[in-house]
Amino acid sequence: VNSDQFDATNSSSWKFASEQMTGDGADYRGVQRRTISGRTCQAWDAETPWLPKYNSTTLPDHGLEGAFCRNPYKDGDTIKARTIWCYTTDANQRWEECQALGVILPVCSSGYAVPDESDRKALE
């Protein structure tokens, strides 16, 4: 999806977006703009707060438009992220992984923290 084509306030622009992702997400061209902890993604071509190693000039065919999560790497790179990620606008956190929109996280084997017993019963 080209960020010029996508407008979150206009539902007709969603037709250009796809949240499909396989493997490590190198093929992901969705519109996720937030990390797993909720941080805002920095635009790939922005230089602040972080100067990105990857941008639309260094990897022109990797969908590095706007501030969407991606997993860019060059053929032969030995260090690769395990999933989609982005540089963040948080000056204390250079990058963080993302989760494609609509993807349900796997079940936590240790369970989940809930406020009280009545909430726990509701989840059973």
Place of tokens 């996280």: 105
Question: What sign for the dihedral angle of Cα 70, 76, 77, 78?
Answer: positive
Nearest one of 30, 12, 40 to 101, comparing CA atoms: 30
- pLDDT < 50 positions in the chain: 1-14
- pTM greater than 0.75: no
- Sequence-ordered strand ranges (E) for the chain: 85-87, 95-97
* pLDDT value of residue 106: 60
Q: What is the pLDDT of residue 4?
A: 43
* CA 116 to the chain's CA centroid: 32
